[in-house]
A and B are shown apart, each in its own frame.
Chain A
Amino acid sequence: MAANQEEVKLLGSVNSPFVCRVQIALKLKGIEYKFVEENLAIKSDELLKYNPVYKKVPVLVHNDKPISESLVILEYIDETWKQNPILPSDPYQRTLARFWSKFIDDKIVAASVKVIHTVNDVKERAKNVEESIEALRILENELKDKFFGGEEIGFVDIAAVFIAFWIPLIQDITGLQFFTAEKFPKLHKWSQEFLNHPIVKENIPPRDTLFAYFKAHYDSLIASK
């Protein structure tokens, strides 16, 4: 093995939107890496060693050094491999990218995921749907160009893969429509453009497998009532 050979490994799960973010970033930059599918029900020694704090995926391991938390990983990737930058170079624009990515995680992902988990609590579920809609509305107003990153996809677009791919899935599984083209014309158009991007297209998981996995999880929640 060459002394300076890069070894890039991604501990992940094909179902995870957070792992997907990292894969898109790595592929955008043309970085070769090894993908290790983790069984999250039976966590591997490697996962526990590399992410003892949260014991979750994704974990990027670069030359044996681990980085966890998808947005932290994205910043690391951008700083380490300079081609095809995903964050803008202007400090204020970078701030906005960080702000909106955090907003997506704190307000949209959190509430949408809870929509699935509150299947047995009508009031809680309605509250989470409301919160998701409100947050999506704010993001809809924020979108000014083809992508959040401008003409090319950037940090926020990658963070928002959850909205483009996982939210429609949540809608199909729960039968609840809250991210509709009527309510969110700009975000809807954005999601079509985003999912058709050559790199993104190749790196989102197969819909059928993902649907089956989440539907099974959802059905088990209903059954446990």
Chain B
Amino acid sequence: MADEVILLDFWPSPFGMRIRIALAEKGIKYEYKEEDLLSNKSPLLLEMNPVHKKVPVLIHNGKPIAESLIAVQYIDEVWNDKSPLLPSDPYQRSQARFWADFVDKKKIYEVAKNLWTKKGEEQEAAKKEFIEIIKLLEQELGDKTYFGGDKLGFVDVALIPFYTWFKGYEIFGNFNVEKECPKFIAWAKRCIKIESVSKSLPDQDKVYDFVVQIRKKMGIE
């Protein structure tokens, strides 16, 4: 029986991008369904994620999986014949889970949002916090090529999507991430050279235009 895999997503969502990368890494054929979050939520979304009513939602043979890191782990466990995203050693797995959870706990998306929606003190505070988070991640990366070691792993997949939003952060936040965190940018550039990553992520310019559009909608000068 052929697997039916559907991804309910919204193209600029960093959380959706994680699942796209995981599916691409494993070579899984799937149907991409765009939810336009700027208009009404579809009946399918409300049916598949009644608890949070959010994207992304992975649907495998009719069964929904919400929460991007949970979906990526599911993909890794079901399609375990190639490109493992989590290491096999339990301790290494725990560290990968810890750091992926860190990315979410630190709310990079929300902190960075203040970079392009706020001004003055609030914006400066967001900038400081954002750089602190990235620096801590740089420390964890150390001399490794990827967080996963020699190849793309769980933490890389969790983190790289935010890189597509950097142009907006830098222009509106008035700073340069590469200047503050060169190792991080070097890692990001290595990641986007990987085919499964580059074909899953939108262009930085396209995301920037989206940020400009949202700011206009929010009435921000």
A and B interact: yes
Which residues on A are within 8 Å of B, measured CB to CB? 53, 62, 65, 67-69, 71-73, 75-76, 79-80, 91-92, 94-95, 98-99, 102-103, 138
Inter-subunit contact A67/B94 (CB<8 Å): yes
- The interface residues of chain B lying within 8 Å CB-to-CB of A62 are 91
Contacts of B94 in A (CB 8 A): 67, 72-73, 75-76
Cα A69 to Cα B101 in complex, Å, equals 9
Contact of A99 among B66, B78, B91 (CB under 8 A): B66
Complex-state Cα separation, A73 to B94, whole angstroms: 7
Given A95-B70, A99-B66, A102-B70, A68-B77 contact (CB < 8 Å): no
Query: Apart from A95-B74, A102-B67, what 20 extra A-B contacts exist at CB < 8 Å?
Result: A53-B102, A67-B91, A67-B94, A67-B98, A69-B97, A69-B98, A69-B101, A72-B94, A72-B97, A75-B97, A76-B90, A76-B94, A91-B74, A92-B63, A95-B65, A95-B70, A95-B73, A98-B73, A99-B70, A102-B70
Tell me the smallest distance from the CB of B125 to a CB of chain A, in Å.
Answer: 20
Q: Is B93 an interface residue (CB 8 A)?
A: yes
Docked CA distance A76–B98 (Å): 11
Question: In the docked arrangement, what's the CA distance between A99 and B102, Å?
Answer: 17
17 A-B residue pairs with Cβ-Cβ distance under 8 Å, sorted by A, are: A67-B94, A67-B95, A67-B98, A69-B97, A71-B101, A72-B97, A75-B93, A76-B91, A76-B93, A92-B60, A94-B77, A98-B70, A99-B65, A99-B66, A99-B70, A102-B70, A103-B51
Name the prevailing secondary structure of the B interface residues.
helix
B interface residues (Cβ-Cβ under 8 A, vs A): 51, 60, 63, 65-67, 70-71, 73-74, 77-78, 90-91, 93-95, 97-98, 101-102, 136
Which residues of B have CB within 8 Å of A65? 91
Which residues of B have CB within 8 Å of A92?
60, 63, 65, 74
| Smallest CB separation, A13 vs chain B (Å) | 20
| Chain B residues within an 8 Å CB radius of A79 | 90, 93
- B93 surroundings in chain A (CB, below 8 A): 75-76, 79
Contacts of B98 in A (CB 8 A): 67-69, 72
Write the nearest CB–CB distance from A53 to chain B, whole angstroms: 7
Given A53-B102, A94-B77, A99 and B90 touching (CB < 8 A)? Answer: no
In the bound complex, do residue A91 and residue B101 qualify as a contact, i.e. CB atoms below 8 Å apart? no
B204 vs chain A, min Cβ distance (A): 29
CA distance A138 to B102 in the complex (A): 26
Q: Chain B's nearest CB lies how many Å from the CB of A62?
A: 7
Residues of B within 8 A of A75 (CB): 93-94, 97
